[in-house]
C-alpha cells in the first residue's frame, strides 16, 4: 500500500509543479475519507535550494528518507544533467518496485536514470521531440496527459501532474478516495482527451515554389472537395509524381495534410466564432459535424463541443 512519499527538490525545481505534489500527497484528508501519507520533501544537500523562478526553498531533509519510500515524485525542473545522487535514488526505487512519478520535464530525470528505457513515456509537448531524440530507448507519446508503464508514471505539462497523481490514487485506493482529493482541490477526478488539443500547429515551409503556391490555394479552398487527382492536374504533374513530391515536402500525404489543415481551421473557428457545428464543418471541408467530430476525437482526443467549451473564451468581447 502506498504510504510513504518522497518528493525530490532538485536545484532548478519548478515551484508550481512541486506544489502539486505537496498538495496531493502532503495533506491529511482522512477526515473526509481520503488517504493520508507520510510525505517527505528531500534534497541531496539540505539547506537553501534554488528554484526555476529565482528564489530558493529551504529544505531540511536529505535523501535518506527515500530508501524505503513507496513513491518517489520528481517535479519539473530546468532540463540539465542531474546530480548522480538523485538518479541513484530513482534507480533504487524502481528496482525495489516502488512507484516513480514525474511531472512535465521531470521525465528527463527519469530518462537520465535509465528507468524509461523500454517503457512508454510522455512529457510536455514542447519537450517531447527532445526527449525522444536524446533517449531513443523510450517510446514518447506527445499527445497524452500521462503514461503509466509498470509503476513508472510520466505526465505532461503542469496540471497533468494532478491527473497523473489522481490516477495513481485510483490504482492504490480506488475511485472514491481519488474523488475526495479531487473535490478538495476543486479539479475534475479524471479529464478526457490529451495534450494534443493544446498544441499549436503551423503550416510547414515548402521549398518547392509550385507546391507552395498550391498549398496556399488549398488553404483558401478547404471548403471544396479537393481530390488528389485534381490537385495533381493543378500542379501540372502526374498523380504519382505529385504524391511523391508532396510527401517529400510536407512529410505526409495530400489527403492527410488536408485533414490536418481543416482541423486547424476548425479549431480557430471554434475559438473565435459562435458558428454552429454543421455550418462550421461545411466551411472547413469536413462536410458534416459527425465527420468533424470523428477527426477531433482521433487527433485531439476531444470533441468540437468540448474544445469550444475549453477554448471558446478566446472570443473577444
* Collapsed DSSP state (helix, strand, coil) of residue 234: helix
> Residue 258: which of 277, 243, 269 has the closest Cα?
243
The DSSP letter of residue 66 is: G
DSSP one-letter string for 128-175: HHHHHHH-TTSEE-TTSSEEEETTEEEE-STTHHHHHHHHHHHHHH-H
Q: How many helices (H) and strands (E) does the chain have?
A: 13, 10
Cell of 10: 532538485
Which CATH fold would you assign to the domain 4-195?
Rossmann fold (3.40.50)
* Collapsed DSSP state (helix, strand, coil) of residue 122: coil
| C-beta of residue 153 within 8 angstroms of C-beta of residue 12 | no
The DSSP letter of residue 67 is: T
CA distances from 183 to 22, 86, 145, 211, 237 (A): 16, 33, 20, 53, 60
Helix (H) or strand (E) holding 57: strand 56-59
How far is residue 201's CA from residue 145's CA, in Å, rounded to a whole number? 18
The pLDDT assigned to 298 comes to 83
The pLDDT assigned to 83 comes to 97
How far is residue 29's CA from residue 35's CA, in Å, rounded to a whole number? 6
Domain ranges of the chain: 4-195, 209-314
Contacts of 293 (CB under 8 A, 6+ apart): 303, 304
The pLDDT assigned to 289 comes to 95
| C-beta of residue 139 within 8 angstroms of C-beta of residue 119 | yes
Look up cell 479539479; give the residue.
187
How far is residue 26's CA from residue 29's CA, in Å, rounded to a whole number? 9
How far is residue 113's CA from residue 93's CA, in Å, rounded to a whole number? 11
Helix (H) or strand (E) holding 230: helix 228-234
Residue 225: what are its φ and ψ, rounded to 5°?
A: -80, 110
Mean pLDDT, consecutive 10-residue stretches, the chain (317 aa), reads 96 96 94 93 98 96 97 92 97 98 97 97 93 96 90 91 92 86 79 56 59 88 91 91 87 87 87 91 94 88 84 50
> Residue 104: which of 137, 138, 128, 139 has the closest Cα?
128
Cell of 131: 526527449
Cell of 27: 495533506
How far is residue 164's CA from residue 155's CA, in Å, rounded to a whole number? 6
For the domain bounded by 209-314, which CATH number is listed? Answer: 1.10.10.60
The pLDDT assigned to 5 comes to 98
CA distances from 65 to 6, 9, 47 (A): 7, 13, 16
Contacts of 247 (CB under 8 A, 6+ apart): 253
How far is residue 203's CA from residue 265's CA, in Å, rounded to a whole number? 11
Amino acid at each position: 500500500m502506498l504510504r510513504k512519499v518522497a518528493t525530490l527538490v532538485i536545484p532548478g525545481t519548478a515551484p508550481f509543479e512541486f506544489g502539486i505534489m505537496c498538495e496531493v500527497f502532503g495533506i491529511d484528508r482522512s477526515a473526509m475519507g481520503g488517504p493520508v501519507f507520510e510525505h517527505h520533501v528531500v534534497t541531496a544537500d539540505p539547506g537553501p535550494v534554488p528554484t526555476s523562478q529565482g528564489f530558493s526553498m529551504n529544505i531540511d531533509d536529505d535523501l535518506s528518507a527515500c530508501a524505503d519510500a513507496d513513491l518517489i515524485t520528481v517535479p519539473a525542473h530546468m532540463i540539465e544533467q542531474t546530480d548522480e545522487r538523485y538518479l541513484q535514488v530513482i534507480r533504487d526505487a524502481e528496482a525495489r518496485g516502488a512507484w516513480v512519478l514525474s511531472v512535465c520535464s521531470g521525465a528527463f530525470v527519469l530518462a537520465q536514470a535509465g528507468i524509461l528505457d523500454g517503457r512508454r513515456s510522455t512529457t510536455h509537448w514542447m519537450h517531447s521531440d527532445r526527449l525522444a531524440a536524446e533517449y531513443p530507448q523510450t517510446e514518447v507519446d506527445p499527445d497524452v496527459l500521462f503514461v503509466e508503464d509498470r509503476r513508472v508514471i510520466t505526465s505532461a505539462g503542469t496540471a497533468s501532474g494532478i491527473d497523473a497523481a489522481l490516477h495513481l490514487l485510483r490504482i492504490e485506493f480506488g475511485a472514491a478516495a481519488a474523488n475526495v482529493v479531487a473535490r478538495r482541490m476543486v479539479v475534475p477526478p479524471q479529464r478526457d482527451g490529451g495534450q494534443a488539443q493544446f498544441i499549436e500547429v503551423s503550416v510547414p515551409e515548402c521549398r518547392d515554389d509550385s507546391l507552395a503556391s498550391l498549398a496556399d490555394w488549398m488553404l483558401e479552398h478547404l471548403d471544396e472537395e479537393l481530390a488528389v487527382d485534381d490537385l495533381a492536374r493543378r500542379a501540372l504533374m502526374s498523380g504519382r509524381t505529385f504524391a511523391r513530391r508532396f510527401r517529400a515536402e510536407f512529410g505526409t500525404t495530400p489527403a492527410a495534410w488536408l485533414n490536418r489543415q481543416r482541423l486547424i481551421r476548425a479549431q480557430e473557428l471554434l475559438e473565435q466564432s459562435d458558428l454552429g457545428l454543421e455550418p462550421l464543418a461545411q466551411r472547413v471541408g469536413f462536410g458534416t459535424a459527425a465527420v468533424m467530430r470523428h477527426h477531433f476525437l482521433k487527433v485531439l482526443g476531444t470533441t468540437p463541443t468540448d474544445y469550444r467549451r475549453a477554448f471558446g473564451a478566446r472570443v473577444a468581447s
